[in-house]
Chains A and B, each alone.
Chain A
Amino acid sequence: MLAAQVRADFTAFRRAPSALFFTVGLPVIFLVLFESIFGEQMVPGAAGQVSLATLQVPGFMVMGVVSASFVSLCITMVNRREAGVFKRVRGTPAPAWVLIIGQVVTTLVIGVLMVVVMLIIGRYAYDVRVDMALVPWLVLGVLVGAIAFSCLGMALAAFVPSMESAAPIANLIVLPLYFISGVFVPVSELPSWLATFASWLPIRPFVEMLSYPYEPGAAVPWAALGVVAAWGVVGLVVASRFFRWTPRRD
């Protein structure tokens, strides 16, 4: 049953041009643009001077994962709820977790694909390499991040009133966060209070987790892992308290 759900969800995602563009296309386009404009610069990383690409490849990996697990998942959940798809499925013997896990697994697969795309572009176009010994950190970071952001996406979906408002609301939340989390602009450029503030929100620590395998000299990002996981738990609690299966009009 879960396999059928994931297959259907994946097919639906693949056929939605806007989801595909925002999740897969946009991070790649941004990376290429930023590197062609600012690529020669060296910037302060977590452990000494590094090329901008060393910071931005993991940054745009995060953008891909967040776009799939948070933005796209939230939009899909709201759409299915408001169209009555979920209400229909709740009238069949299918348990609720099939719908939730189906979406989480689908967006996780897409997020992982994005990470792989970024790994390859980073390695062959910009010569940024992952320390092979730290690949497990990359895997752990992507898994924890994707699951945490899925929980946050579900939580947000509970408060989004209509299909039309899902995409603007979700994007309005993540866009400023990308700016203060080292995705577009290195955090070294930010005032320190803003950088500290961002480190308590979920995106900056997620970037730190995925940057670590690129900057092996840096401290092990346990704190970042903890912050992302904590946000995931918050999302899970809020979602399980407020999530609804039936359209708002009901």
Chain B
Amino acid sequence: MSAPPAIAVSGLVKEYGGRRVIDGLDLQVRTGEVLAFLGRNGAGKTTTTEILEGYRTRDAGEVTVLGEDPARAGARWRARLGIVLQESQPVPTLTVREILRLYAAYFPNPRPVDEVIHLVGLDEKAGERAARLSGGQLRRLDVGVALIGAPDLLFLDEPTTGFDADARRQFWDVIQGLRSTGTTIFLTTHYMDEAQALADRVAILREGRVAALGTPSELQASLGGVEIRFELPAGVARADLPALSVAPRVDGPHVTVSTEHATADLAVLCAWADGRGIDLPSLEVGRPTLEDVFLAIAGDAAPGGTR
């Protein structure tokens, strides 16, 4: 028998001022997996996450998190959760160790403070006040706070926003380490490479519903076709490109052609470039990325903020 799901949601509805932000959302998160929860701003990511965490009430639907209804669950249930909110700052005048010691006191069976400090890679900053930490270090402290109670389920809401590349890699290592200890992780993120690197499965949210769910590989295969990617050579405008079987997507210098006729399109492109005596920098041909899947499924950006 397989373990019961860590999170089970069916028919979840949430309205704000008559507008349905979450509109019949269904989702199951398996115990021990990392689920990446993706969606455009305004698609309902944070609202859903905060309903699962017990911060917000719902208007309809069934929600079970670690076997209990978050709207009614108590302290014993919260002791099994770790939560990293999208925005929160620690008390700036306390040190890393003092903050973790305080949070440890809130939990019945906390992890040792020094173990957590080591786990999130803040050994050298343990005695530093929070006000003196960098953005990446603050976020790792945030994760440390979420881990202090040795949670079975960890919620991460856009944990690496504002990180530089190094900080993001280090953070990923922490998450992968946790995953190997069997912690279930519900990860909300804007970054497709993050979902690709960490997630067992990916759920893409659109208009308050899960529009696609699967492993990154399954989702990429589902889109079909092939992608031709290159950079616009210097002095060449978008309008100069030859006609292809589909219109290319241009994002700054990056050009992507998602095509069902890769050979023909490639031949046209090469002949065009050759005729002009130019090169196509960074030319590559491959299957669609998770980002392509996201763009195809998540739809146009909804107006409004992140809630």
Measured CB to CB, the residues of A under 8 A from B are 1, 3-5, 8, 11-12, 15-16, 80, 83-85, 87-95, 98, 246-247, 250
Contact = CB atoms under 8 A, between A and B. Distances in A.
Interface in B86-112: 87-91, 93-94, 98-99, 101-108
B81 A91 contact: yes
B158 interface: no
B76 interface: yes
B39 interface: no
Nearest to A16: B93
Given A1-B106, A5-B102, A88-B83, A11 B94 contact: yes
B98 A92 contact: no
Given A11-B93, A16-B93, A91 B54 contact: yes
Given A11-B93, A93-B76, A88 B88 contact: yes
B75 interface: yes
B126 to A, nearest CB: 15
A92 B90 contact: no
Interface in B69-87: 75-76, 78-79, 81, 83, 85, 87
Contact of B89 (A5, A85, A98): A85
Contacts of B103: 92
Q: Which 3 A-B pairs have the closest CB atoms?
A: A84-B88, A4-B105, A93-B75
Interface of B: 53-55, 75-76, 78-79, 81, 83, 85, 87-91, 93-94, 98-99, 101-108, 129, 145, 149, 307
Nearest to B54: A91
Given A15-B93, A16-B93, A95-B75, A85 B98 contact: no
B54 A8 contact: no
A182 B86 CA distance: 48
A88 B90 CA distance: 9
Nearest to A82: B89
Given A4-B105, A246-B55, 19 more contacts: A4-B102, A11-B98, A12-B93, A80-B91, A84-B88, A84-B89, A85-B89, A88-B85, A89-B106, A91-B54, A91-B81, A91-B83, A92-B78, A92-B103, A93-B75, A93-B76, A93-B108, A93-B149, A94-B75
Contacts of A16: 93
A85 B90 contact: yes
Nearest to B53: A91
Given A84-B85, A88-B85, A5 B91 contact: no
A3 B129 CA distance: 21
B88 A12 contact: no
Given A1-B106, A12-B93, A87 B55 contact: yes
Nearest to A76: B91
B78 A93 contact: yes
Given A93-B76, A246-B55, A8 B102 contact: yes
Contact of B98 (A8, A87, A250): A8
B127 to A, nearest CB: 13
Contacts of B90: 83, 85
A118 B55 CA distance: 45
Contact of B85 (A80, A87, A98): A87
B91 A8 contact: yes
26 contacts: A1-B105, A4-B102, A8-B98, A11-B94, A11-B98, A15-B94, A80-B91, A83-B88, A83-B89, A84-B87, A85-B88, A85-B89, A87-B55, A87-B88, A88-B83, A88-B88, A88-B145, A91-B54, A91-B78, A91-B81, A92-B78, A92-B107, A93-B75, A93-B106, A93-B149, A98-B106
Contacts of B75: 93-95
Most B CB contacts (10 A, CB to CB) among A4, A8, A88, A92 go to: A92
Nearest to B79: A93
A85 B99 CA distance: 11
Nearest to A95: B75
A141 to B, nearest CB: 31
A8 B89 contact: no
Nearest to B83: A91
A247 B108 CA distance: 27
Most A CB contacts (10 A, CB to CB) among B55, B94, B106 go to: B106
Contacts of A12: 91, 93-94
A91 B53 CA distance: 7
Contacts of A84: 85, 87-89
A94 B106 contact: yes
B16 to A, nearest CB: 12
Contacts of A8: 91, 94, 98-99, 101-102
B114 to A, nearest CB: 16
A241 to B, nearest CB: 19
A92 B106 contact: yes
Nearest to B149: A92
A12 B54 CA distance: 29
A36 B223 CA distance: 84
Nearest to A84: B88
Contacts of B99: 8
Contacts of B307: 250
